[in-house]
Amino acid sequence: MKRGKLLNAPLSALVARMGHTDEITVCDAGLPIPAGPERIDLALMAGTPSLATVLDALLSELVVEKVIMASEIKLISPDAHQALVAQLEAHALAHALAQGKPIAIEYCLHEAFKARSHQSKAIVRSGEVTPYANLILCAGVAF
């Protein structure tokens, strides 16, 4: 059996295939998923699993240098935005030696976010039902 936090086989395989600057979109239950990128659907029911839970699992094995969010999250879902930023900052601080530097956060309009998701290696669908609770994780390197 695999050791560690991330036990989902498709997610683990995805992380193993990632290279520097490759992207993974982690989305809420409602984001339209385009044809092309691999679809990993984890949604079980509303709220399960949460975006934060999926992010926690991915951060346990993936080096992330940048995260992209829709700018609308700041106004429409400010509590979720603050929680995600705090989660990313806490992860970067806790893994400062392995991470090397803070995780940059960029914002774009939701329509641009959806267009950008087309270039992701995979789109991971959570059960999150908070408006605009979507992230694009840009892979870094561990050296």
Catalytic amino acids? 20
Residue whose C-alpha is closest to residue 62's, from 134, 122, 138: 138
49 φψ region: left (φ > 0), alpha (ψ -120 to 50), beta (else):
beta
